Amino acid sequence: MISRICFVLFLAPCVLGNGDPIDPETLHNVFGYPQYNTAASNVATTTLSQVLPVQPVNSTLTDPDYWDVDELPSAAVADYDKFDWVLTKRVASNSNVNFLISPLGLKLALAILAEAATGLTRSELSSVLGFEVDRHAVRRKFSTIVESLQKKSPQYILNLGSRIYVEDSAQPRQRFAAIAQQFYQTELTSINFHNPQAAAASINAWVSNTTQGKINNLVDPDDISNMVVMILNTIYFKGTWRHQFDPNSTKEGVFYTTPNQRKPVQFMRVKDKFYYAESTKFDAKILRMSYIGNKYAMYVIVPNSLTGLNMVMEGLSTLRPEMDSLHERLVDVTMPKYKFDYSSELDAVLRELGVRQAFEDTASFPGIARGQTLAQRLRVSRVLQRSGIDVNELGSVAYTATEIALANKFGEDNESSVEVIANKPFFFFIQDEATRQLLFTGRVSDPSIVDGAFKH
């Protein structure tokens, strides 16, 4: 599978806003962060999973290819992915077409942006993202996420890159630069945005390199001619299925794009042991397909009826508990090969979710723009993600580039098996099992479509 995503956020001059303090309980309800403590911090060194029931009932039958015996997953101590599900649900509600986004890519970029913000601007970002009031706790949590993603292994490739391009004439605070480097592994790089041709070429070369050539033209000279700062992060993932599909078994079949419309597509098939659950609440099947190394996995939710995906998407925020019933068994999987590109403009979505002040002339980002004069202030003017995915018999490749740009305002055995047949629209996500972070979320409505866009 191949997937790619790019996120663009533009900022322009603004004024300091003073908001009322946010109730910690409200923040907890929005994002679910617990108070950070020593016990929680130890989680960074252990392997976490999203659910307890993925452990075989008989511990002597533990499959070491899924989990090491001494590192059996336990229930996560923090449910801090609510923003990811809300974002996914909102993007999905705009249409019924294929889509692919990187909640983690957007969240990392916004987290760095929040570090530079003050007043109401920061309060809104923190509330929507679900951050704790304690900045140190948030930083430690993201440091853990970044550290998890940067772990190297010969069994998979996960490249996480993060960089902040700063106009030569701008002088971000050293404190902000230090925080970006220490907790987000993000380096500040000077660049001459007044030479947009050269700047665009330099930025695109870095993005292309970090995404293995999957994203080649993230920006053009017109995009960055009036920029002051651009925050970029990229994620490139390449994994091989633990249970690969036999290419010789791939054959044409019918995919129902709607109850009355169907298309011929190539279907892959594999029969092996997977973690699986039948959800009565969603009237759907949940399948966990791990990659070699078991640090990452794709989850596929296939409704039982041709029109059942809407119910799944509407209830995404309550999907996690349904995964408590995952258990290992023999599953006969039939899934279409699919490959598509997707672009999404997310500024309006963020406004609807509550990030409003950041888009106004009264926004405040003193960590990046020193001083409080109108000429020195910034506001968000655009948020964009570009993505792509390619799923085949051998595995998956996923890649994402997230950009935040700041510009001035002028600018087999005998065991019985079950079947999972994905011959109708279905939902999927790729997850880092250690931190439960959603690298990618998406919907396949038509495997034959290769391009899509979301604008709102």
Residue 4: pLDDT above 60?
no
CATH architecture of 247-337+413-454: Roll (2.30)
The Cα–Cα gap between 182 and 184 comes to 6
Environment class of residue 18 by beta-carbon count within 10 Å: exposed (0-12), middle (13-18) or buried (19+)?
exposed
pLDDT digits (tens, 9 = 90+) for 77-122: 345 688 999 999 999 998 889 999 999 989 998 999 999 999 999 9
Superfamily for the 2-56+78-240+340-407 domain? Antithrombin, subunit I, domain 2 (3.30.497.10)
User: Structural domain boundaries of the chain?
Assistant: 2-56+78-240+340-407, 247-337+413-454
Averaged pLDDT of the chain? 79
- Beta partners for 347? none
The Cα–Cα gap between 131 and 122 comes to 10
Residues in contact with 191: Cβ distance below 8 Å, sequence separation at least 6, in sequence order: 165, 166, 167, 168, 199, 202, 203
Residue 330: pLDDT above 90?
yes
Q: In what helix (H) or strand (E) does residue 119 lie, and over which residues does it extend?
A: helix 119-129
pLDDT digits (tens, 9 = 90+) for 116-137: 999 999 999 999 999 988 999 9
Q: Residue 172's pLDDT band (boundaries 50, 70, 90)?
A: confident
User: Any idea of the CA torsion for 258, 262, 266, 270, to the nearest 10 degrees?
Assistant: 60
> Which token pair is 376?
């020195």
Count of Cβ atoms closer than 10 Å to residue 418 Cβ: 14
0.85 surpassed by pTM: no
pLDDT digits (tens, 9 = 90+) for 227-242: 777 888 788 888 899 9
